[in-house]
Amino acid sequence: MTAAEYYVDNFQVVKKFVEKLDSNSACIRKVKEMLEDNGQLFADLAFIKSQFGILVKTITKLQSQQSISLLESMNLEETVLETLQNVPNIPYRVSRKTQSIYAKNTGFKMLSSIAKCCVGDRSLLPPEVMDLQLTPEMSFLKCSPVATADVERSFSKFKHILTKQRETFTSENMKIHMILHYRIDVLN
């Protein structure tokens, strides 16, 4: 997606550069043919940028260092799904594949329900978790990561916190230590 954005934004520069290349290579001749094809390549790249650019922005936001709430993450995901379903002239198999991925992803549905519950709407919880008692620890779910980047960063921090000298940490001390490390990251 990022490549499509780059080539749309710099299409004329790339085209002029390729036109100056020697046509001795079959590969260069093929690229020149593609660039001269009545603007179809530019139109296709512009379509990709305009209709699917939301994917790049959403993935970047989900994997960024900044903490976003679970509800905000779920809202971003749902916006992407709605946007992809409304792309004009999208091949049917792409639309069907997108719907299939989300339909099979029971974890996404569960996280979405939990996110809405964290802001007070228990009616959306699936029956299997309706009987759970809300505990103070459940409030931590409000900031549950939906992208693996946050999880990988957490494991990296655990590796540095839980050293051989600290193997006797109580869960309360570990919790305090993690909060301190989180606050340091936020302040930096």
Three-state SS letters, 4-33:
HHHHHHCHHHHHHHHHHCCCCCHHHHHHHH
CB proximity list for 110: less than 8 A, separation 6 or greater: 126, 129
At 112-162, the pLDDT tens digits run 777 777 766 666 566 666 555 556 666 666 666 666 666 677 777 777 777
At 58-109, the pLDDT tens digits run 888 877 756 677 778 888 888 888 887 777 777 677 777 877 887 888 777 7
Q: What's the rounded Cα separation, in Å, for the pair 60 and 81?
A: 16
At 155-188, the pLDDT tens digits run 777 777 777 777 777 878 877 877 777 666 555 5
Q: Where are the domains of the chain?
A: 1-66, 67-146, 147-188
Mean pLDDT of 33-61: 83
Q: To the nearest whole number, what is the mean pLDDT of the chain?
A: 76
